Chains A and B, each alone.
Chain A
């Protein structure tokens, strides 16, 4: 019934994507929340692009860039790196596609930390790193939880990019969503049902978590008087 190999691939992909995206996401989100640079809207627009583009378009360009037909893909192949139809490639694509899901909530959380608190920390003698660890991160962490939950839920549900980039290789690139598609094609509706329900439950859990922590961060904002 349940394709446990697909569950494992999906779970691995979700955890690795979130894990690899979190440090970069925090760095990028903090930078976007505090920078005065005029080019910031361009960076923000580029980050949001994966939300608007159809996943198949993203997958298509990914194939063009990393496939053996391109010069870069050929160069990669020479060095024994295969990013098309492999877990590594899937991870890389997933990492890019999930950037907005990770960065957006964290950026909102960092923006909500009043600048006066940063200044109060500096005036109190805290350096930039200490200010980040002791003041900003403890206040912004609900945003981090929301980012991780959204990224994982979105990774579990991603279909188009996975199919284009990863294909349908059992225990390598066949995720739950691809497995459901596979089962429906084979008229095995019962198996599709079971796996679909599992994805629904996972998504509901993730969204509940996101909303609960969003409320928490709103409370933080109120307490800081901002």
Chain B
């Protein structure tokens, strides 16, 4: 097995039940709220975090770095973890070149390190001390230092022996620099064949950079998958909450006809509305569920517009606009469904659509909800 494979469990004071993999050349984002254990897991991989009674394994490119059964627990020096610290942790008394050279093994000649610094956009800055570099430049030095540790030969295309670990690496730079660094990381990923693990609390960042995301909560991996899938189909209500889905509601699931079911949306006031959904045979009949409305499959129309979809499977939901927040090209539109006091649906709509319909707070609209817009999860 190549790449990174992590299984960590602990039932002591600190609860841990994490399991995920990262193939070489892929970037996996560990996402979770603060205190979810994402940084601890990253540090455990680097050998910097030890917990008595920790079981499981950490395997990198076919080598055991940690294995509780075989009693293997390598020192940080014996692992090849290229760790980019949150605040870079560059050695302030050393030049950029010396910072990188310190982590390089004998494969790396001085000209190789100079070439890597050029590659990272640090041409001519090698002799500078970290304090004389901008935040973005310091970040690149930190990334170069991590890369030389990971590669088995003296360039970024050589085979990777280790794993690249990024601990919230973009949190300390300003927004324009961050965008530039995103692009550079994406470009670098095309060439570096190391497994890469990114710890972040920024969902947009995870979505933008990662091949796969691992959702972590209280030390437990709740869901793993490609970002678009996890964000559209959270496995349970907690994941939906963690990935910042606004439109999640309570209801009851009832089988109806073969392949079809009824979702009863129950408002806090007790009022109910019934919606037609697809039965994927995953939810038991008559159970209470949490469900998510995926805005991608929802059409919004003015209340007086006729919706002549004969035989259409779409649910029609009459709503009243509560608030419109213009975000430029799009507008954030909060609506309350008729007859379901207290419930709110928030959708991002094209600004042009809002202007054309002269929509404002109080305007009645109708929502055409395709059955696939309704993602249903067991309550957890």
Q: Do A and B bind each other?
A: yes
> What is the CA–CA distance of A222 and B131 in the complex, to the nearest angstrom?
9
> What is the CA–CA distance of A119 and B45 in the complex, to the nearest angstrom?
13
Residue A224 at the B interface, CB < 8 A? Answer: yes
Which residue of A is nearest B138, CB measured?
Answer: A225
Query: In the assembled complex, which residues on chain A have CB atoms less than 8 Å from the CB atom of B149?
Result: 123-125
Residue A42 at the B interface, CB < 8 A? Answer: no
**Residues 121-159 (chain A) with a chain B CB within 8 angstroms:** 121-127, 134-135, 138-139
Question: How many cross-chain pairs have Cβ atoms below 8 Å apart between A and B?
Answer: 60
Residue A51 at the B interface, CB < 8 A? Answer: no
Q: Mark B75-118, 1 if CB is under 8 A from A, else 0.
A: 11101011101010111110000000011010000000000000
Query: Are A124 and B103 in contact, with the CB atoms below 8 A?
Result: yes
Query: In the assembled complex, which residues on chain B have CB atoms less than 8 Å from the CB atom of A225?
Result: 87
Query: Are A125 and B129 in contact, with the CB atoms below 8 A?
Result: no
> What is the CA–CA distance of A122 and B75 in the complex, to the nearest angstrom?
9
Query: In the assembled complex, which residues on chain B have CB atoms less than 8 Å from the CB atom of A124?
Result: 102-103, 145, 149
Chain A's interface size range is 20 to 34
Q: How far is the CB of A67 from chain B (nearest CB, A)?
A: 49
Query: Are A120 and B77 in contact, with the CB atoms below 8 A?
Result: no
Residue B365 at the A interface, CB < 8 A? Answer: no
Residue A223 at the B interface, CB < 8 A? Answer: yes
Q: Mark B126-169, 1 if CB is under 8 A from A, else 0.
A: 00011100000000000001000100000000000000000000
Query: Are B91 and A122 in contact, with the CB atoms below 8 A?
Result: no
**Residues 78-125 (chain A) with a chain B CB within 8 angstroms:** 114, 116-117, 119-125
Query: Are A134 and B87 in contact, with the CB atoms below 8 A?
Result: no
Which residue of A is nearest B77, CB measured?
Answer: A125
Q: How far is the CB of A119 from chain B (nearest CB, A)?
A: 5
Residue A12 at the B interface, CB < 8 A? Answer: no
Identify which of A119, A121, A127, A220 contacts B93 (C-beta below 8 A): A220
Residue B48 at the A interface, CB < 8 A? Answer: yes
Query: In the assembled complex, which residues on chain A have CB atoms less than 8 Å from the CB atom of B76?
Result: 119, 122-123
> What is the CA–CA distance of A165 and B276 in the complex, to the nearest angstrom?
97
Identify which of A119, A127, A134, A138 contacts B102 (C-beta below 8 A): A134
Query: Are A125 and B46 in contact, with the CB atoms below 8 A?
Result: no
Give the top 4 A-B pairs by smallest Cβ distance, nearest first.
A124-B103, A120-B89, A116-B89, A223-B92
Q: List 13 additional A-B contacts (Cβ < 8 Å) besides A119-B46, A119-B76.
A: A119-B83, A119-B85, A120-B85, A120-B90, A121-B91, A123-B83, A124-B145, A126-B102, A135-B91, A138-B93, A139-B92, A220-B93, A225-B87
